[in-house]
Chain A
Amino acid sequence: MSNIIVMPLIIPIITAVILVFLRENIVLQRIITLITMVFITGISILLLQLVQTEGILKLEFSGWVSPYGILFVADTFSVLMMLSANIVSTLCLIYAFSTIGFKYENMFFYTFVLFLIAGVNGSFLTGDIFNLFVCFEVMLLASYVLVALGGRKIQLRESLKYVLINVLASWIFLVALAYLYGTVKTLNMAHIAERVLEGNQDAMLTTVSILFLIVFSLKSGLLLFFWLPGSYSVPPTAVQALFAGLLTKVGIYALIRTFTLMFPLNPDVTHTLIGIMAGITIIAGCMGALSGKDVYTIATYNVVIGVGFILIGLAVGTEAAISGAIFYLIHDMVAKALLFLLIGTMVYLTGETIVKRMSGLIQIYPLFGWIFFVVLLALTGVPPLSGFVGKILIGQGAIEVGAYVLLALGFASSIIVLYSLLRIFLASFFGETTVSLEDRKPIPRGAMVSFILFTIAIVYIGIGAESLMVYIEDATRTLMNPSRYIEAILKG
């Protein structure tokens, strides 16, 4: 019983509600938001340490002993995800402070970001599959608002599609929940896992698990990503970065959780399916990235490639591959968010979205240019930076089980990522500058601060991989042996 687990959900919600009353006072809003984010990031670090010393933590609301009540669970995997999500959103908010503009801040921008973060944290922490649905909805409702906020024509159009698709996905989620409840008569994830283990995952449960696969694929952009490029390219930069860093990753988290804890017994069907879907996702993402002419398209399809690559790790499913997937997931959150921030800034500086029409940025903004280069290397997976370890581990896992097709696809995608981003880098940063002297805008200081902090994070994840691996190995151990999780929840 440790009440600290609920803090990452409760505190953003309370602050968000308080911020509603401070509509006029934008400086105060910013300060409060920043303090809240730093505070819950601190709590995440504390939780990470607690989980290491005391094992899996759980909080059963109002003392209803599981499997009867609803509960929050903190194991290393969920806390790691939560920590990186909170760091990413803090940095995105620092960027937002200097760029988002009065129009948004006045319309409860920070309130909705905090709701989004609350939903994300809740999804990571919940130990009850219906609460996962509820937290997803909290997160999605906030994201609907953030896509539509601003009210430009194209935003409204894309947000309507985005909302409709997600409403349908939530509907399928409920159908899957209904059948799951009808079959195993429980909603506690550990209890479901136990019942599934007892009943040997018959055809009915495999079908239910495939329903879950469809739902979470829709949310994470695995194969069913047709909604992603449109809705990720219309909102303001800070929101795009938040989405790229958080939303799809929550779907991936749910996929990993579902298929390692609850439905691990029929990998011939489910994991093969995930593998095929991941493969197709990578191919389609690469095609999109190659064909894109404007920076947003290239960046959004890079998100798609990232999703496919992480899920190769899940599809392969060996210990090395899973820890690779976790590592790459953390790296991807940070690097993708930074990529979107940089690209948004490029568009802001030049007023252009087509790659070919920008050039010579590095002469005016040297630091900015080199940060972009660092992200490019990190996303490609060049050794000292953050993408490398994850790629190696996933590759190692794929070799262990002989999944050479996926391996080849995964590493070929790195080249495409390198090529597509290098194209932006060469075309936009080198050559004669197109921005005339009078039009030169300085990069806002807050934006620069967040870039530098992000870069430090990327370099740290790469160079400090050893210190991170302790946690990641622990997370993998729990994921690979669901009995640890089940025992901690049901017998602890």
Chain B
Amino acid sequence: MVLLVGVLVTVGTYLILSRNIIRVILGTAVLSHAVHLLILTVGGLKTGAVPLLSHSEGPFTDALPQALILTAIVISFATTAFLLVLAYRMYKTNKTDDISELRGISDE
């Protein structure tokens, strides 16, 4: 699991450092998956029974990391969607998808 997180972070970092906007956005998506797995891992993988009270008599698995990840996934979906739309609009108005051409403040 930890190795997987490491690989995902590596891939994500590589993608973020590239010049193409779409790659950068994909990179942020990959990174967010990496951190979700990280939350799951450090929260402790399956350490007990299913956390349903009537199902068994503990010890139960901690269900909180999954709740956190669920929230984080929703947020990262929203941000990624927004980023994609933004990138599309930017491509339409600025006629480029190259980050390095976005430097400086030129007149309109």
Contact = CB atoms under 8 A, between A and B. Distances in A.
Contact of A157 (B43, B71, B83, B94): B94
A68 to B, nearest CB: 9
A178 interface: yes
A264 to B, nearest CB: 24
B68 A137 contact: no
Interface in B26-42: 28, 31-32, 35-36, 38-39, 41-42
Interface in B50-108: 62, 64-65, 68, 71-72, 75, 78-79, 82-83, 86-87, 89-90, 93-94, 102, 105-106, 108
A45 interface: no
A-B pairs, top 8 by smallest CB distance, nearest first, are: A182-B42, A178-B39, A156-B90, A174-B35, A178-B38, A137-B75, A157-B102, A167-B28
Interface stretch (A81-89, A145-153, A243-251, A407-415): A145-153
Interface residues of B, number: 35
A137, A159, A160, A185: residue with the most chain B Cβ atoms closer than 10 Å: A160
Contacts of A145: 82
A4 interface: no
A181 B68 contact: yes
A156 B75 contact: no
Given A137-B75, A144-B82, A164-B24, A156 B94 contact: yes
A153 B24 CA distance: 20
A133 B21 CA distance: 25
A154 B35 contact: no
Interface residues of A, number: 33
B94 A168 contact: no
Contacts of B41: 178
A160 B102 contact: yes
Contact of A182 (B21, B32, B43): B43
Given A134-B75, A160-B102, A161-B102, A181 B94 contact: no
Contacts of A39: none
B42 A179 contact: yes
Interface in A155-178: 156-157, 159-161, 163-164, 167-168, 170-171, 174-175, 177-178
A151 B65 contact: no
A187 interface: yes
A133, A152, A170, A174: residue with the most chain B Cβ atoms closer than 10 Å: A174
A178 B75 contact: no
Contacts of B94: 153, 156-157
Given A181-B42, A187-B68, 13 more contacts: A133-B72, A154-B105, A154-B106, A154-B108, A156-B94, A160-B21, A160-B90, A163-B82, A167-B79, A167-B83, A168-B16, A178-B35, A185-B62
B38 A141 contact: no
Interface string A192-219: 0000000000000000000000000000
